[in-house]
Amino acid sequence: MAINAVLAAIYVALTVINPIGTGAIQLRVSEILCVIPFFNRKYIPGILLGLAIANAFSSLGLIDVAVGLVIGIIAYTISYFVKNVWLNAVQYSILSGLIVALALYLVLGIPYWFSVMTVGASTLIMTLIGTFIFKKFGDRILPE
């Protein structure tokens, strides 16, 4: 429980202090943490909580909270069936690109496919970095 709270706090801090953490063109460093539940499912609540709190500070507010939670819930559900952490990083990134772009298009009128590519690519970069870090050092960083 305490580790989930710490993960949530780190996710929020990394997102809120990052000036390019939201929008159509973003590089959300906190997405590195989103792969942790692919290694150990007990950290799903911490990541989802952090994601919800951080997204509440975005320009889309509650819409972004809902979008982030939907992406996380779908991605972590898929990960029950797909055991390869690299594939899970990719599916998470694709979902992020598709769903965040839809919200940006519907609410702000930002071109859909542009947002799919920019959000999806930036999320893929971060999740692949996170997968590498936690695959290599996860046993030293997080307790089982």
pLDDT in tens, 26-70: 788 999 999 999 999 999 999 999 999 999 998 889 999 999 999
Residue 143 has a pLDDT of 75
Q: How many residues does the chain have?
A: 144
pLDDT band at 21 (very low <50, low <70, confident <90, very high): low
**Domain map (residue ranges) of the chain:** 2-141
State the distance between the two ends of the chain, measured CA to CA, in whole angstroms: 13
Residue 41 has a pLDDT of 95
d(CA 22, CA 27): 8
Report the half-sphere exposure of 114 (CA within 13 A, side-chain side).
9
Residue 26 has a pLDDT of 77
d(CA 60, CA 45): 22
Q: What digits encode the pLDDT tens for the residues 69-114? A: 999 999 999 999 999 999 999 999 999 999 999 999 999 999 999 9
pLDDT band at 23 (very low <50, low <70, confident <90, very high): low
Topology given in CATH for the domain delimited by 2-141 = Arp2/3 complex 21 kDa subunit ARPC3 (1.10.1760)
Residue 1 has a pLDDT of 82
d(CA 101, CA 23): 9
